[in-house]
Amino acid sequence: MVDLSRLREIMKGTGGNSVAPRPELTDEPLAGAGQRASGDLCAELGGVSVETSTGACVVIEREYDADRFHGRIRVSDCRVDPAVHASALNLLIRSSTDQPVPSAGGPVVFLDLETTGLTGGAGMCAFLVGCAMFEDGCFRTRQVFLPAFSAERALLSLAAEWLGRASMIVTYNGKSFDVPVMETRWLFHRMPVALEGKRHLDMLHPARSLWKARAPDVDEEWGRRNERASCRLTALERSLLGLSRVGDVPGFEIPSRYFSYVRSGDPSPLAPVVEHNRLDLISLAAVTARALRLVSDGPDQAEDARECLALGRIYDRGGLTSQAIDCYVRAAEMASHARGTGAWDRDDGSIESEALCRFARWARRERRFGEAAAAWRRVLKLPARPMNFEREAIEALAIHHEHRERDLPLAHTFASRALDAQAGPRGRDSVRHRLTRLERKLGAVHEKSGAAAAFFK
Amino acid sequence: MQPPVVSPPTKDAALQLALGSLAAARARRRAGPDSPTAADPIVTAIERLPPASAEFAPFPDAVDPRLRAALAARGITQLYVHQAQAIAHAIAGRHVVLVTPTASGKTLCYNAPVLNAVLGAPSSRALYLFPTKALAQDQLAELHRLAELIGERAETEIGVFTYDGDTPQDARRAVRRRAHVVLSNPDMLHSGILPHHPRWAKLFENLRFVVIDELHAYRGVFGSHLANIIRRLGRICRHYGSDPVFICSSATIANPRGLAEALTGREFEVVDRSGAPRGEKFFVFVNPPVVNAQLGIRRSYLAETRRVALEFLRRQLQVIVFAQSRLATEILTTYLKDATDVPPGDGETIRGYRGGYLPARRRAIEKGLREGRVRGVVSTNALELGIDIGALDACVMAGYPGTVAATWQRAGRAGRRSGRSAAVLVASSAPLDQFIIRNPSYFFQASPEHALINPDNLHILLDHIKCAAFELPFAAGERFGSNDVHAILAMLAEEGFVHFADGEWHWTHESYPADAVSLRSVSSDNFVVVDETREPKVIGEVDFSSGPSTLHEKAIYIVEGALYQVGRLDFDGRKAYVREVDCDYYTDAITYTKVTILGTFAADSSLDDLASATTPDIAAGHDTEPGFIVEDDDRAAHSAPDGAWGPGVRSHGEVHVVSRVVGFKKIKFYTNENVGTGELDLPEQQMHTTSYWLTIPADVMRRLASASDDRRDGVVGLAHAMRNIAQLLLMCDRHDIGISIGGDGTQDGSAPASHDLWLAPQVFIYDNYPGGIGFSEPLFHMHHDLLQKTRQAVGTCPCEAGCPSCVGPVGHTGPMAKSVSLRILDLLLERSSAVAPW
């Protein structure tokens, strides 16, 4: 009933530019065309077929002995144990921690998906759900693969079973991707959402703050700058764990590999995808363990100023003020030391400024005005400092000299500098206000001293 | 500066004075030397629409007492009859379409059943669709107050939220969780809700009502898209086990039931007798006087509109002026700003308003109107729909809005429930306007027009099948609307979009198909206008098909009276770079169009077929299913090589249209003098679309007994007149259809050269959208009416030998155009009435 050649043109985007349509024959698609026997699939992926009440899926399990090394890190050091790490985990979870991580209960489960796209929405699904946890003294990955779209309920119920047992889950960018995708799929099939209310540590955010400088923003797979890809797990794994993957599947290829399997039935391009997912899980565990050790052991473990500063922020958010201040002081020291050795760049300037400003704010709150002022003065002496910290320091010093030191000429000098540093009109207005007041006060002082001088003459 | 406050009785008196002055102008001119004749009066009609009192009906029994109490608290103790009927239908689970005028309390007709359902079962959900974001925002406040009142009584919270492109990301989750009623628009439903339906599972599982407000807005392309979106919505509701009741409200159109049924695929009850009270209204028809009787040239209707609008403005009455195009809007804004003494620094009293202005500017204008700071607004149809701008005193329409429905809708923007108001229609010299203005009874007695859609336009259908496949796998043998979509899915499989396995078609592509579809056009392309006078900034946008004609190099682009000249059109980058200029002219593009027939769906191959080919429904004026489905057999039966359909008079089928903007004219403001031309070299635009065409049989041409040039002029004149009558009959915008002669000729009517074509010339009236949007087949069925009304329009035109109002200006179409085209029409009508006396 529909003219097929017209359709073809429309689809190829030549819809308007054509000559008269020619009717053409088309083929009937065959159900499950060319699908190989599932035995092949299991062999290719190294898994077994698992029957559920709603169909069969391929489950791939691997165990990694505790004394193996993943890059520089020993597998046993990747262990995340809620009983040991409860307070550190709570510090890393960004949201308010009314509901602390249970220190007993199920295992911590690492979760990572491979999907048929990145767009979200009902037309995208996870064809590989990767879970990992420490069990029986070793690191165990458990992946479930979708052999056909019709088996999705089976995949989802297996995933629900594994995830349902977890005391908490750990992901990399799971807050905005993996978890919403799983929720969408369960909801699509009108199944219960197994992750509802589950504690969730998304390592992307702490990792960005701790290690952004080590995982360059340039997305090497795409060869261009990609904001979303900044601080990618693979980049982190290279710098943090000293690991580089050989023959890894580029992420952008993954959906098309799955589609090609769906059409041809040939699973061989998918074996590397399953391996890629496994490596992601191990690296995620390693990165998480590294962050936990930092948080547990404090600034002594920090390797550089950025790590130290980020650690301070994490403590600050968790209300551990004195640890935070320690970190800020150490971060400033480390950065200034780096400055001394010449291994210093603009980024360090920003770290040192922030560390000093955060310290100064705390000192002011504690009414240690002298220390606060000293820190702000140090900010202004830095060779490279971001505008916002410079502005903060200048304004704080103007206030300090007006109200604490009562050095009005110096306060005036800082206020004038503040006027130049202000970007917005509102900020400038408040600075102008201060300047006018200072000028009035200064005038009064001059008059007084003038009057005094006249008297003594 | 605060505007002077004018109290209602004073307002009524001021309005009376303004109307008196309009009538007096007529008397004065009669006395003058250049006096219009009795046959051509300036004011052709003053219709007084008496005030109407309210007709009430009791609340249907099914209405929850708590809802009734809450309504009473809002001052609603009884219902108008139409409200009671609509509410009863909806509560009983019958789909209902409500056809009532502006300000008749239609929102209660859907709010009441929805809130009633929530009271009965708190899990109940409803989805409201408005054609624009602004309308949804507008409705939110009222619904919110009512929902709060009821919530207090029922000790529950009834969530009412808008969900559109402006909803912040972090608020969206809350809306999904807490909204009982979601107010949205088709675009958001299409790209933000349906593709993410699992996140909306709660809504779709419990969806009791879908409200479609301003139903008449969904005709043509937009309607064709919406019908497909509703098909997708239906699939998703079935997936979640719900079957919502549709409540639609529409302005007066001929086929509210037909449109509602075509849009939703469901059967409807119609409620069309309003019980709401109305204030007294005067409807005045003004025809600008003829200034050159020989050439049939009238005083510019824009100048006449300016005069009429000033009669109201100078009496402190708040006025809305509707113009037909963006260009006319800008010109009139300029005229009125010039004419009113605006104190410096208070430039806000006269504003322009149209699509393409940025939202913040529009909101400011709407607010200014409500608060009375803006005394006059000149708008395109953008303000025709129910955006709250308060009750204005007078509405002046510069040119006939094109449809009876739109005219009443626009007139409704002046005057609400009580007090006197006026609506003035100022005719342009366009044939449609002249037909209406000279036949006031046609307008005041006419049944309004049909709203037509074609949900099965292949381009549109294909886009939505992709979206539907993304949302839910298609089952083998599943239908989409009335379509068996197997062939389309098989094709999509070839292209890698879907894959068939285990009895289902699954989406197998990384893209998000909804993003590639724009509902307001067939293709989602548009041009943005970048002002480079100072810091480059975007000042507007223009849809793809009108890009070349409005944004070509040296074109004058106007925003709220400010003139910009296009310096460079980056066709591939879809950007036009403009700079502010100060000049006294605007530009009008010259477009060359060529039409080739690809296939004929139906034609009268012999005269005997004429009667049987007419759909009885249409002949009888009943609702009909708009649009059509292309059947292969049907096509085979009627296909014929070019020129082989013998004495055929009317046909419709598929055509290929090539158009190119070849130049432009510079036209001086106020005088409309042509002050220069320019040539342009722009890429061709091509499309496949559907068309109706008239073939004038060779024996008719032979019987004309005129010189060949005159015969040609007659056909050109006929085409000129037919286009406008077609527009009248189809309820479409001028831009929705295109015209071409003999498959060769320019759009403004200059003729093709080849002589052979004139043996049996063809006049094409085609759908100006790729794939067609359903105008051609109805036009084919209205063929006889089309010819007869064209005959009436040309025959009653007072000009001597042609004017822009009938067959085109003499200088353009030749001295004999009018008489020859009348002769052709007489011969054609004689033939058809001899065979089929409809």
Question: What's residue B80's pLDDT?
Answer: 94
Q: Is B346's pLDDT higher than 80?
A: no
Give the pLDDT band (50/70/90) at residue B613: very low
Where do we find the tokens 């995982």? Answer: A215
Which one of B240, B462, B656 has the shortest CB-CB distance to A7? B462
Question: What's residue B540's pLDDT?
Answer: 77
- Measured between its terminal Cα atoms, the distance across chain A in Å is 113
Task: Give the strand pairing for B290-292 and B181-184.
Answer: unpaired
Percent of chain B residues topping a pLDDT of 70: 83
Check: CB of residue B217 under 8 Å from CB of residue B187.
no
SS3 of residue B173 by DSSP: helix
Q: How far apart are CA B11 and CA B393, in angstroms?
A: 8
Any idea of the CA torsion for B328, B329, B334, B337, to the nearest 10 degrees? 140
Residue B196 tokens, joined: 């993410």
The distance of A183 to chain B (nearest Cα, Å) reads 8
Give the pLDDT band (50/70/90) at residue B829: confident
Check: CB of residue A444 under 8 Å from CB of residue A437.
no
Helix (H) or strand (E) holding B229: helix B220-240
pLDDT average per 10 residues of sequence, chain A (457 residues): 60 45 34 47 90 92 83 80 81 62 77 94 96 88 95 96 92 93 96 90 87 58 42 80 80 93 93 93 91 88 86 88 90 83 70 89 90 89 83 87 84 84 72 84 71 54
Percent of chain B residues topping a pLDDT of 90: 30
Check: CB of residue A315 under 8 Å from CB of residue A294.
no
pLDDT tens-digit series, residues B510-519: 999 998 887 7
For chain A, residues classed under CATH 3.30.420.10 are 38-296
Check: CB of residue B374 under 8 Å from CB of residue B380.
no
Residues 344-383 of A with CB under 8 A from B: none
- E-only strand ranges, B18-99: 43-49, 56-57, 79-80, 96-99
* CA B638 distance to own-chain centroid: 32
Helix (H) or strand (E) holding A389: helix A387-399
The distance of A28 to chain B (nearest Cα, Å) reads 7
Mean pLDDT, range B604-622, rounded to an integer: 37
Phi-psi category of A5—alpha, beta or left, where left has phi over 0 and alpha has psi -120 to 50? alpha
SS3 of residue A417 by DSSP: helix
CB pair distance less than 8 Å for A6 and B491: no
* Minimum CA–CA partner of A121 in chain B: B196
Query: Which residues of chain A make contact with B685, given a CB cutoff of 8 A?
Result: 16
Q: How far apart are CA B476 and CA B504, in angstroms?
A: 6
Question: What's residue B508's pLDDT?
Answer: 96
Give the pLDDT band (50/70/90) at residue B665: confident
Check: CB of residue A332 under 8 Å from CB of residue A308.
no
The single-letter code of the amino acid at B53 is S
Q: How far apart are CA B279 and CA B325, in angstroms?
A: 30
Q: Is B379's pLDDT higher than 80?
A: yes
Q: How far apart are CA B447 and CA B254, in angstroms?
A: 6
* Minimum CA–CA partner of A9 in chain B: B459
* CA A36 distance to own-chain centroid: 40
Task: Classify residue B473 by its DSSP letter.
Answer: P
* CA proximity to A194, closest of A185, A203, A202: A185
* Minimum CA–CA partner of A12 in chain B: B495
Question: What's residue B513's pLDDT?
Answer: 93
Superfamily, domain A38-296 = Ribonuclease H-like superfamily/Ribonuclease H (3.30.420.10)
The single-letter code of the amino acid at B327 is L
Q: Which residues contact A455 (CB under 8 A, 6 or more apart)?
A: none
Q: Is B435's pLDDT higher than 60?
A: yes
| Other Cβ atoms closer than 10 A to B349 | 20
Task: Classify residue B189 by its DSSP letter.
Answer: I
For chain A, residues classed under CATH 1.25.40.10 are 298-456
Name the CATH topology of B56-271: Rossmann fold (3.40.50)
Check: CB of residue B354 under 8 Å from CB of residue B378.
no
| Other Cβ atoms closer than 10 A to A177 | 19
Q: Residues for chain B: how many in total? A: 838
CB pair distance less than 8 Å for A150 and B240: no
Query: Which residues of chain B make contact with A263, given a CB cutoff of 8 A?
Result: 496, 499, 508
Q: How far apart are CA A328 and CA A320, in angstroms?
A: 13
pTM: 0.77
Query: Which residues of chain B make contact with A10, given a CB cutoff of 8 A?
Result: 458-459, 462, 771
* Minimum CA–CA partner of B468 in chain A: A123
Higher pLDDT, B634 or A345: A345
Question: What's residue B185's pLDDT?
Answer: 93
Mean pLDDT, range B344-360, rounded to an integer: 73
Q: How far apart are CA B328 and CA B583, in angstroms?
A: 16
CB pair distance less than 8 Å for B499 and A150: no
A148 interfacial to chain B (CB closer than 8 Å): yes
The distance of B516 to chain A (nearest Cα, Å) reads 12
Domain spanning A298-456, CATH architecture? Alpha Horseshoe (1.25)
Task: Classify residue B30 by its DSSP letter.
Answer: H
pLDDT tens-digit series, residues B467-483: 999 999 999 999 998 88
Residues 237-266 of A with CB under 8 A from B: 255-256, 259, 262-263
Residue B238 tokens, joined: 């079935």
Lowest mean pLDDT among B3-17, B115-129, B611-625: B611-625
Domain boundaries, chain B: 8-50+278-445, 56-271, 458-516, 594-657+686-835
SS3 of residue A431 by DSSP: helix
* CA proximity to B700, closest of B715, B690, B688: B715
Check: CB of residue A280 under 8 Å from CB of residue A265.
no
Check: CB of residue B683 under 8 Å from CB of residue B658.
no
Q: How far apart are CA A205 and CA A94, in angstroms?
A: 8
Give the pLDDT band (50/70/90) at residue B673: low
Question: What's residue A137's pLDDT?
Answer: 80
Radius of gyration of chain B (CA): 27
CB pair distance less than 8 Å for B629 and A1: yes
Residue B700 tokens, joined: 């008719």
The single-letter code of the amino acid at A320 is L
B8-50+278-445 and B56-271, same CATH topology = yes
A191 interfacial to chain B (CB closer than 8 Å): no
Q: Which residues contact A383 (CB under 8 A, 6 or more apart)?
A: A339, A349
Long-range contacts of the stretch B359-362 (C-beta < 8 A, 24+): B359/B134, B362/B134
Task: State the sign of the Cα–Cα–Cα–Cα dihedral B534, B538, B544, B550.
Answer: negative
CB pair distance less than 8 Å for A16 and B469: no
Q: How far apart are CA A331 and CA A4, in angstroms?
A: 68
Check: CB of residue B728 under 8 Å from CB of residue B432.
yes
b/e A117-155 (16+ beta carbons within 10 angstroms → b): bebbbbbbbbbbbbbbbbeeebbbbbbbbbbbbbbbbbb
Q: How far apart are CA B626 and CA B779, in angstroms?
A: 11
pLDDT, mean over chain B: 81
Question: What's residue A214's pLDDT?
Answer: 64
CATH number of this structure's domain B8-50+278-445: 3.40.50.300
Helix (H) or strand (E) holding A64: strand A55-65
Residue B546 tokens, joined: 């009108």
Q: Is B615's pLDDT higher than 70?
A: no
Question: What's residue A343's pLDDT?
Answer: 63
A185 interfacial to chain B (CB closer than 8 Å): yes
Helices assigned H by DSSP within B669-765: 698-702, 708-730
* CA proximity to B447, closest of B405, B385, B399: B405
pLDDT tens-digit series, residues B748-796: 344 444 445 567 888 999 988 777 777 888 889 889 889 988 898 888 8
A22 interfacial to chain B (CB closer than 8 Å): no
Q: Which residues contact B771 (CB under 8 A, 6 or more apart)?
A: A10, A15, B457, B458, B459, B460, B522, B687, B688, B689, B690
pLDDT tens-digit series, residues B90-122: 999 999 999 987 778 888 999 999 999 999 999
Which one of B470, B500, B630 has the shortest CB-CB distance to A3? B630
Give the pLDDT band (50/70/90) at residue B331: confident
